[in-house]
Amino acid sequence: MTFRRIAARLGLALALCIPAAALAAPLIAFDSAVFIERIKPGQGRLLQPAATFKRGDRVIYVVSWMRKSGTGAFIVNNAVPRTVYYQGSADGSEEVSIDGGKRWGKLEQLRVGTRIATPEDVTHLRWHLSAGDAARGSGEITYSAIVR
């Protein structure tokens, strides 16, 4: 094989790899924060950055997203830590999974054996963000949980 053919094939291989590398770059960046909800007499409900948890604490998770490039709708999946049980989200549009993300639906539609699933069964959350929401460029999703 001549040098020219080797160079041509190598050039083609590199040309095919560059788009794959560009597609592998993240289009959306995520960040999260955890807060504890405290009720203070005379002050109402306050959110404090979470440093430590104790059983029964109500925690608020804030998942922030920022679109870096691209267009169109996308999905946000979030595992629920085992140390808490899910309570609800700010808008109620989420789908939940009770089996590690294999099946999804509204909580009242899912079953564990013969019983209807409960918030304690939730393992993962998923939100579908529309192209219109994604076009805003950034946003936040919040949900609450109780420490087990």
Say what the alpha-carbon torsion angle 20, 21, 27, 28 is, to the nearest 10 degrees.
120
**Angle at 14 (CA atoms; ends 13, 15), nearest 5 degrees:** 90
Q: What integer pLDDT is reported at residue 16 of this predicted model? A: 44
HSE-CB at 97 with a 13 A cutoff on CA atoms is 16
Q: What integer pLDDT is reported at residue 88 of this predicted model? A: 93
**Longest CA–CA separation in the chain, Å:** 84
- Which parts of the chain sit beneath pLDDT 50? 2-22
Exposure string of 73-105, with b = 16+ CB inside 10 Å and e = fewer, is ebebebebbeebbbeebeeeebbbbbeeeeebe
Strands (E), 1-148: 28-40, 44-49, 58-67, 74-79, 84-89, 95-97, 111-112, 115-116, 124-129, 138-147
The letter for the amino acid at 129 is L
- Closest among 143, 145, 141 to 75, alpha carbons compared: 141
Which domains does the chain show, CATH number per domain?
A: 26-147 (2.60.40)
Q: What integer pLDDT is reported at residue 51 of this predicted model? A: 86
Q: What integer pLDDT is reported at residue 90 of this predicted model? A: 86
Q: What integer pLDDT is reported at residue 24 of this predicted model? A: 52
Q: What integer pLDDT is reported at residue 40 of this predicted model? A: 87
Q: What integer pLDDT is reported at residue 25 of this predicted model? A: 54
